[in-house]
């Protein structure tokens, strides 16, 4: 699964519209419906739901979600939290469809009114701001996000929690603290970053019909179990350990034997046939008691590294100690 920046997501949108002829309104309908059915896994029929609809296309998704839930018979209050003038383009088109379907919505004039609704709600769906949010939240979003985070309500976010930056490098922000986020098409970078990840809660990705084959090769990917299964080499039933590569792990020291043991264990678990460990002779007994399959090469801290020519892969440095790493061994290997 690709991991994208906001800019890359907009580019994908553009390609979908220009190369595949998918109109923005259709993408928004697909997005809203896919997110609704994803969120329904967390909603019970008796739940009272508040949908918060903001400016921009994330708000447009909100109108589709509110309409779909209402059509399905759920108890929904749709709150438009921005003035009418802020709703335009595809979002405005979906607001019209929402109204034409006979559904009412409320306009937020005072945050106290919304707070009363939130207090009675079981679920709050955040469709206020998406990947277009920039900088610290302005009003009314800052106040609303604060109110939502204070209430004991199930908080579900659409695409990205309001206020969370989509990309890396921003740590000064307030945001909707979601219990669960339904991400549209591809996870954004901030899903994986220390300061932003907690705001997403649990998450999954919904597909909205973008023409994935039209996108350029992408370098940032989430490696999933299906990728692992797809790329794991098939083993010949009659193969032996010598048929599956020979690896050398150079590291560990008398007082730090653990990391090299774990590296060797991981290499063997992931399919390496033969593993040799080059380490301090005094560390060998403790490592050998943890890894019975490995063979050993004595390696003196700061000394010359062993001949690498007979190995298919080498891992260097874990538990080797700073002095040795800064001294001869890395230069020897590099030469």
Ligand X SMILES: NC(=O)C1=CN([C@@H]2O[C@H](COP(=O)(O)OP(=O)(O)OC[C@H]3O[C@@H](n4cnc5c(N)ncnc54)[C@H](OP(=O)(O)O)[C@@H]3O)[C@@H](O)[C@H]2O)[C@@H](O)CC1
* Binds ligand X (CB under 6 A): choice among 8, 126, 159, 301: 159
Sheet with strand 295-298: strands edge to edge: 295-298, 274-279, 246-250, 313-316
Of the listed pieces 135-143, 283-291, 295-303, 307-315, which binds ligand X according to CB under 6 A? Answer: 135-143
Q: Which of positions 182-211 make contact with ligand X (CB under 6 A)? A: 184-185, 208
Q: What is each CA distance from 174 to 12, 164, 209, in whole angstroms?
A: 28, 7, 32
The site partner of 126 among K ion, ligand X, none (C-beta below 5 to 8 Å per kind) is: K ion
Residue 286: phi and psi, rounded to 5, are: -70, -35
Residues near K ion (CB under 5 A) are: 58, 126, 157-158, 162
272 Cβ contact list (under 8 Å, min separation 6): 244, 245, 246, 247, 313
In the annotated binding site for K(+), the residues are: 58, 126, 162
123-127 vs 180-184, strand pairing mode: unpaired
Of the listed pieces 58-66, 68-76, 197-205, 241-249, which binds ligand X according to CB under 6 A? Answer: 58-66
Of the listed pieces 57-65, 146-154, 217-225, 281-289, which binds ligand X according to CB under 6 A? Answer: 57-65
CA dist 15 and 254 (Å) reads: 57
Angle between helices 24-39 and 89-100 (to 10 degrees): 60
Task: Please count the other Cβ atoms lying within 10 Å of the Cβ belonging to residue 310.
Answer: 10
The site partner of 261 among K ion, ligand X, none (C-beta below 5 to 8 Å per kind) is: none
108 binds ligand X (CB under 6 A): no
133 binds ligand X (CB under 6 A): yes
Q: What is each CA distance from 241 to 235, 244, 245, 251, 274, in whole angstroms?
A: 11, 6, 8, 23, 6
Q: Which residue has the tokens 């538990």?
A: 319
Of the listed pieces 99-107, 131-139, 191-199, 232-240, which binds ligand X according to CB under 6 A? Answer: 131-139
61 binds ligand X (CB under 6 A): yes
In the annotated binding site for (6S)-NADPHX, the residues are: 57-61, 130-136, 159
Residue closer to ligand X (CB basis): 162 or 329: 162
Residue closer to K ion (CB basis): 134 or 235: 134
215 Cβ contact list (under 8 Å, min separation 6): 2, 12, 15
137 binds ligand X (CB under 6 A): yes
Sites of contact with ligand X (CB under 6 A):
9, 13, 27-28, 31, 55-58, 60-61, 86, 129-138, 141, 158-160, 184-185, 208
């Amino acid at each position: 699964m690709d991991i994208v920046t906001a800019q890359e997501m907009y580019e994908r949108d553009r390609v979908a519209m220009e190369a595949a002829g998918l109109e923005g309104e259709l993408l928004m309908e697909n997005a809203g419906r896919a997110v609704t059915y994803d969120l329904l896994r967390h909603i019970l029929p008796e739940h009272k739901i508040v949908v918060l609809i903001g400016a921009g296309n994330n708000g447009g998704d909100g109108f589709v979600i509110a309409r779909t839930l209402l059509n399905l018979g759920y108890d929904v209050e749709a709150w438009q939290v921005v003035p009418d003038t802020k709703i335009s383009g595809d979002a405005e088109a979906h607001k019209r469809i929402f109204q034409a379907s006979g559904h009412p919505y409320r306009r937020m004039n005072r945050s106290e009114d919304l707070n009363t609704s939130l207090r009675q709600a079981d679920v709050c769906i955040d469709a206020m701001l998406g990947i277009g949010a920039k900088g610290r939240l302005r009003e009314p979003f800052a106040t609303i996000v604060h109110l939502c985070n204070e209430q004991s309500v199930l908080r579900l976010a659409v695409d990205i929690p309001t206020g969370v930056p989509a990309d890396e490098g921003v740590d000064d922000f307030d945001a909707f603290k979601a219990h669960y986020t339904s991400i549209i098409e591809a996870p954004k970078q901030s899903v994986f970053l220390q300061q932003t990840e907690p705001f997403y809660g649990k998450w999954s990705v919904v597909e909205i019909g973008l023409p994935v084959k039209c996108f350029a090769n992408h370098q940032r990917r989430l490696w999933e179990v299906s990728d692992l299964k797809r790329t794991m080499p098939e083993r010949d039933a009659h193969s032996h350990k010598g048929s599956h590569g020979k690896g050398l792990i150079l590291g560990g020291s008398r007082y730090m034997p653990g990391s090299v043991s774990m590296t060797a264990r991981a290499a063997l678990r992931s399919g390496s046939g033969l593993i040799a460990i080059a380490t301090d002779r005094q560390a060998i007994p403790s490592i050998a008691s943890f890894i019975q399959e490995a063979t050993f090469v004595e390696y003196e801290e700061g000394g010359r590294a062993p001949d690498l020519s007979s190995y298919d892969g080498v891992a260097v440095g874990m538990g080797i100690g700073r002095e040795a790493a800064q001294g001869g061994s890395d230069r020897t290997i590099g030469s």
